[in-house]
Amino acid sequence: MRHMKRSRAWSWLKRAAVGLMALALIGAPSTGGSAAPAQDTAVILQGADIVTLEPYYSQSLPDQNAIIHMFETLTRFGDNLQLLPGLAESWRLLDARTWEFKLVAGRRFQNGEPLNAAAVRYTLLRGKEFYEKKLGDVQYEYNLLDLDTVEAIDDVTVRVRSKNPNPLIPLHMAHSQTAPMPPRYTSQTSVNDLQRKPIGSGPYRVIEFVPNERVVLETWSEHPNRPAVRRLLFRPVPEDATRIAELTAGNADIIVNVPPDLIPQVERNRSARVETVAGLRRIIIGLRQDRHPALRDKRVRQALNFAFDCRTMMRNLLANKGECTGTVANVPDQNPAVKAYPFDVQRAAALLDEAGWRMNPRTNVREQGGRALEFGFDCPRGRYIKDAEICQVIASDLAKVGVKTDVQVFDWSVFVGKSARRGAGFRDIYLIGSGPGFECQADLALVQKDSGSNRSLTDMARFEALWDDMSVTFDVKKRRDICFRMQDVIYDEAPVIFIWFQTDIYGVSQRLEWKPRADERIRLHTSRFR
């Protein structure tokens, strides 16, 4: 009897093992996988899941990279980020608040619905309704769009009216959250289905969406410009080393975010190459002007820029995969005359002396009236390339001219909370990256006094006068001229420590012809296999 009771343990163990193996067997699908990709399929490995294919529900980059293949916009950015015609063949300004777009005639959505002015009107007003009802993820885009009315004048003419004068409306028409959607299908389909099986007018259509695992797109045979690559397979692979392993094993065609120190690992492989592009994400050290009095003094801010040895950092930390900068405007609006601050410790020291911050030889920290030149320095980790390491380098450089910093590194989820409400949670200085505005004025909002993205509460009178001027200037050449002058002012005022435009580094298989773009979008419309 006792023997029988003791045997229960063994018997339970055997049953459990058999049961669990059966459970695993049942759960394992029989197909799919990550073997070498098919000849006609480009495999793109991104760092995060594609959550939705409905453009009005997402601004996330992994989602956007699939969406841009399925949807087209009235205007679009070319490979050099110049604004080009898209579904609209032309556009013109009727008055300060109204833009008129002429659509390409005869276009249709993938389900056969006509792509006309009525469809554009339906889509933009749907976006406006989302904005007003706080649906989807359109708050940022539609706040900037400032949409008032949309009129369909005839089948190919649509007029977009903003609440205030808005020279940037044609730029916003290149954003996927203004991409036309077929009215009948969109209004009759549930949100859930729209997110997984949307219908656009782009050259690809979705054929498989397995949440958290993969999205497969295939060329739409009726598109006027059918791409050469027949299928696109998007997979999420969050770990950098795993993505590189997939590429070097021949299982992937494009991988994102290759860390600079792992570039040699890709380059050693004959079947893969590294492609880099100077991105549009501005990485800066914000200098809050409402906390430490020293940061209100232009000479101190300039001294911090002179004290930072950006080029050495670029060489030693970032594998020379980028360039130091002295502006926060993106291409093609960068003022070519504005260069990065030179590394000049003597000049930095002289400026700090001139500003009244004298070195205390006992502590090696500068002081003024008994107050030390010491800043709280907040840094994220893992959000930007080598973000925490860049902070450490800058802290070390600043220490050499007697500026002490207390560096604190935060996980991004905590750091981003600090950045809210115009950086209310930040201490004196902080590292942050800012995405592109796709136009000079939108880029320079980073340091404009009323802008939400101005987390340092910078207020530069010379800059603000130019800003006001630009806001009522619609002429492209005049805007460019004002833009250049604003960059001169920013360089001189040094409201930030300029670092770099983060370089985007991709691993690409040798069989695929593809070039990266500065806007971080992975477009394969014109790619082909060798």
Partner 1 sequence: MLVVVLMVSVASFALLFLTGDPTELLLGSAADVMSQQQIEEFRRARGFDRPWLVQYLGFLTHAARGDFGDSLRHHRPAFEVIWERVPATVQLGAVAFALSVGLGVPLGVISATRRGSVVDAGAMLLALLGQSVPSFWLGIVLIMIFGVYLHLLPISGRGTWLHLVLPGLTLAAFPLARNARLTRSSVLEVMHQEYVRTARAKGVPEFGVVYRHALRNALIPVVTVIGLQLGFLLGGSVIVETIFAWPGVGRALIQAIGNKDFPVVQAGVTMLAVTFVAVNLLVDLLYATLNPRIRYQ
Cα–Cα distance measured from residue 287 to residue 458, given in angstroms and rounded to the nearest whole number = 8
Alpha helix positions (H), 361-475: 387-399, 412-423, 440-444, 461-471
Q: According to CB under 8 A, which one of 85, 114, 236, 356 is a site residue for partner 1?
A: 236
Q: According to CB under 8 A, which one of 8, 133, 477, 530 is a site residue for partner 1?
A: 8
Residues facing 76 on adjacent strands: 84
- Interface with partner 1 by CB under 8 A: which range of 130-138, 174-182, 322-330, 368-376? 130-138
Binding to partner 1 by CB under 8 A, coded x per residue (else -) over 466-505, reads ----------------------------------------
Check if the beta carbon of residue 366 is closer than 8 Å to that of residue 402.
yes
The pair of three-digit structure tokens given for residue 389, joined into one six-digit string? 């390491």
Which helix (H) or strand (E) segment holds residue 434: the answer is strand 429-434
Contact call for residue 28 and partner 1 (CB under 8 A) = yes
- Residue closer to partner 1 by CB (options 63, 309) is 63
- Interface with partner 1 by CB under 8 A: which range of 51-59, 109-117, 148-156, 401-409? 51-59
Please state the closest distance from residue 349 (CB atom) to partner 1, in A: 36
Contact call for residue 242 and partner 1 (CB under 8 A) = yes
Contact call for residue 97 and partner 1 (CB under 8 A) = no
Check if the beta carbon of residue 260 is closer than 8 Å to that of residue 505.
yes
- Interface with partner 1 by CB under 8 A: which range of 68-76, 132-140, 312-320, 354-362? 132-140
Contact call for residue 31 and partner 1 (CB under 8 A) = yes
- SS3 of 196-247: the string is HCCCCCCCEEEEEEECCCEEEEEECCCCCCCCCCCEEEEEECCCHHHHHHHH
Nearest to 484 by CA among 441, 420, 424, 436: 441
Please state the closest distance from residue 502 (CB atom) to partner 1, in A: 17
Please state the closest distance from residue 517 (CB atom) to partner 1, in A: 23
Dihedral over alpha carbons 507, 509, 514, 516 (to 10 degrees): 0
- Residue closer to partner 1 by CB (options 176, 335) is 176
Please state the closest distance from residue 85 (CB atom) to partner 1, in A: 29
Nearest to 216 by CA among 28, 37, 29: 37
- Residue closer to partner 1 by CB (options 10, 369) is 10
Q: Peptide bond preceding 37: is omega within 30 degrees of 0, i.e. cis?
A: no
- Residue closer to partner 1 by CB (options 248, 327) is 248
Please state the closest distance from residue 247 (CB atom) to partner 1, in A: 10
Cα–Cα distance measured from residue 324 to residue 311, given in angstroms and rounded to the nearest whole number = 7
Please state the closest distance from residue 242 (CB atom) to partner 1, in A: 5
Distance of CA 4 to the CA centre of its chain: 66
Ranges within 148-177 binding partner 1 (CB under 8 A): none
The pair of three-digit structure tokens given for residue 509, joined into one six-digit string? 């298989």
| CA dihedral over 196, 198, 202, 204, signed as positive or negative | positive
- Residue closer to partner 1 by CB (options 17, 337) is 17
Contact call for residue 251 and partner 1 (CB under 8 A) = yes
Ranges within 320-349 binding partner 1 (CB under 8 A): none
Ranges within 195-234 binding partner 1 (CB under 8 A): 195, 211-214
Q: Is 450 helix (H, G, I), strand (E, B) or coil?
A: coil
Angle at 272 between CA 269 and CA 277, to 5 degrees: 125
Tell me how far CA of residue 528 lies from CA of 218, 228, 230, 524, in angstroms. Answer: 14, 5, 9, 8
Ranges within 252-311 binding partner 1 (CB under 8 A): none
- Residue closer to partner 1 by CB (options 282, 321) is 282
Distance of CA 155 to the CA centre of its chain: 35
Q: According to CB under 8 A, which one of 123, 248, 305, 325 is a site residue for partner 1?
A: 248
Total site size for partner 1, rule CB under 8 A: 70
Provide long-range contacts, Cβ within 8 A and 24+ apart, for 423-426.
423/286, 423/288, 423/455, 423/456, 426/286, 426/288, 426/378, 426/455
- Interface with partner 1 by CB under 8 A: which range of 247-255, 362-370, 499-507, 515-523? 247-255
- Residue closer to partner 1 by CB (options 171, 482) is 171
- Interface with partner 1 by CB under 8 A: which range of 67-75, 215-223, 244-252, 273-281? 244-252
Check if the beta carbon of residue 108 is closer than 8 Å to that of residue 87.
no
Q: Using CB under 8 A, list all residues that contact partner 1.
A: 5-10, 12-13, 16-17, 20-21, 23-25, 27-35, 48-49, 51-52, 57, 60, 134, 136-137, 139-140, 143-144, 191-192, 195, 211-214, 235-239, 241-242, 245-246, 248-249, 251, 411-414, 416-417, 419-422, 424-425, 452-453
